[in-house]
Chains A and B, each alone.
Chain A
């Protein structure tokens, strides 16, 4: 029996799987909160869940970088490539944007846009390298991109510290970018929402179209499903791998540029960079976003908003004495469960189906007996 109702479609089961993983992750977070401080756990948890609504501008503001890194991971994942290097691509994008912001003198109207483009180029470059290593030398992209996360981090910190225009050594951070490099705000009072979230969403939609309506997208998904079959069918997998990684890198690089160029109402939280030799966390959060969104660009928009939402909530939960690291734990637990949530989902689904069909047969059975 083949029924095509919503409840059995693939997208729906991915959606319920994500919900199941989120639920388990939140339950785990609640348990940790209860253990660490039982008295406030309910209020703290409530804040974690709904706190984001009080900071809706902040949710959109912080969703933008992870939306971009999420797209970077998710797009490569469609081809079966695990782009763990989004952190390095993000850092490179940030550096390129910083460099153009400080060193190039351009008219105010185009300066921010050129900075954004430069960020994209930086990300592309750092995505291209694992792509070439994978396509031409058969080196596992996971190892390459991790190594280039470290290389990129050290390189960027060194280049920034060595540049007297950018770096103020007494403050151990860069100077503030000139106002002309700042992204235009959307003009909503008391919030930092700027044009980048709109660009991000448009790009997500664009990737959705590329994946579903173009030959390249079709080849990409086919290679992801079975690379031998697609190679046999005459698809140029080497070219596709490199192209995919370049696009993925571009997304992560844009994320870095958006993060550094964004205006902020909180003084000192953007437009400046502190080289502290730590891998950018937004790259790894992008993995969470991509997995939660089932690597679907549209899904990624929503999962980025969700992750950003609970991150804001987590920050607010510190009012009740909770450490914001709880959110990182919750996110990691969510990814862990989402790795096999589809399977769990199927098991739960089958259980319900069995219960349902039992009830059905019970309903039918007495009627049959009457007839007999």
Chain B
């Protein structure tokens, strides 16, 4: 049972970045813009979040307070970086995949350059401890307390909150409806007076905000508050895209998909603690490949009847029909 608790406690901080970034991808794609730059946006957010933590870590601020402020910094950074994508992909009608790739390539190099110039290292290392041993009183609930309120990060609760907010924004507001319309049939949306360019900017910007936060939460929950230009976010931005496709572009299905992937990854990295897997004595690298292989298997089964937004990837041009 302890092993099970351990796995769940470690799965959640990994699942939350995937969830948030995949939600970001969902907003962007449902507005009609393929956001392959999520990897870069995550790293950009993580970098600025960590930079902020680095500068305030010696002040008297409470660790959780610093984390919340760092989250806002990361969100702002992600938002600004995503504007580069919307500028190219919406205003300039450039190829969305190429632009995204360029943005992904830019950030690791820029971080390495910056860190080598100012810190003489490959990234930023912080020493603040954001870990929560146990949440007061809530951790005493029998099973649930052990599962969700011990050995965790505040990022988990913020992530769930953001999921609920995103779902409400997506399904219950006029904005959400309009956003979805722009991804399915932008000309029809335009004909009833919706500003397609604005909605696409909004979709990409939301993905920037969520991507930035997701990147910072990755740095906090998976990397212990560090960022590094070499390893970056280890393909989490791309995994998030797969999570989004597996979740059929829908918020709660995305949540389940994120849990699935995070669980696989956690298992892969804690083989030594799981007696029966350890006994099999299989090379650890196989388990490290597992999330990526599982992605392919899942996509192979779900992509035939894809629910992808109809107009995604096509720059909107008023003059075309």
Which residues of A approach B to under 8 Å, CB–CB?
Answer: 32, 36, 82, 84, 133, 137-140, 142-144, 146-148, 150-151, 154-155, 157-158, 162, 278, 284, 287-288, 291, 323, 325-326, 328-329, 331-333, 335-336, 338-340, 343-344
Residues in B with CB closer than 8 Å to A151 are: 289, 292-293
Q: Which residues does chain A contribute within 8 Å of B124, judged by CB atoms?
A: none
Q: Do A335 and B101 touch across chains, with their CB atoms under 8 A apart? A: yes
The yes or no answer to B296 lying at the interface (CB within 8 A) is yes
CB 8 Å contact bits of B172-204 with A (1 = contact, 0 = none): 000000000000000000000000000000000
The interface size bin for chain B is 35 or more
The B contact surface, by secondary structure, is helix
Asked if A339 and B88 sit within 8 Å, CB to CB, the answer is yes
In B101-116, which residues have CB < 8 Å from any A CB?
101-103, 105-106, 108-110, 112-113, 116
Q: In the complex the two chains form, what is the Cα distance from A137 to B305 in whole Å?
A: 10
Tell me if B280 is interfacial: C-beta within 8 Å of chain A.
Answer: no
Docked-complex contact A147 and B292, CB < 8 angstroms: yes
B98 contacts which of A138, A278, A291, A323 (Cβ < 8 Å)? A291
- Chain A residues with CB under 8 Å of B231's CB are 278
- Is the C-beta of B133 less than 8 angstroms from some C-beta in chain A? no
Q: Is the CB of A147 within 8 A of B295?
A: yes
Shortest beta-carbon distance from A195 to chain B in Å: 30
Q: Does B59 contact A (CB under 8 A)?
A: no
Contact of A146 among B103, B238, B300 (CB under 8 A): B238
**CB–CB B292/A150 < 8 A:** yes
B242 touches which of A147, A291, A329 (Cβ 8 Å) = A147
- Measured between alpha carbons, how far is A302 from B201 in the docked complex, in Å? 36
**Residue from A155, A339, A340, A343 within 8 A of B289 (CB atoms):** A155
- Selected from B102, B299, B303, the residue in CB contact (under 8 A) with A336 is B102
From the candidates A84, A142, A332, A343, name the one contacting B109 in the complex (CB within 8 A): A332
Q: Pick from B43-51, B89-97, B157-165, B270-278 the stretch touching chain A.
A: B89-97
Are A36 and B117 interface neighbours, CB within 8 A?
yes
Q: In the bound complex, do residue B112 and residue A325 qualify as a contact, i.e. CB atoms below 8 Å apart? A: yes
- What are 29 A-B contacts defined by CB distance under 8 Å? A82-B98, A133-B296, A133-B300, A137-B299, A138-B303, A143-B241, A146-B238, A147-B242, A147-B296, A158-B285, A287-B101, A288-B105, A291-B98, A325-B110, A325-B112, A329-B110, A329-B113, A335-B105, A336-B84, A336-B88, A336-B106, A338-B98, A339-B95, A339-B98, A339-B99, A339-B102, A340-B93, A340-B99, A343-B94
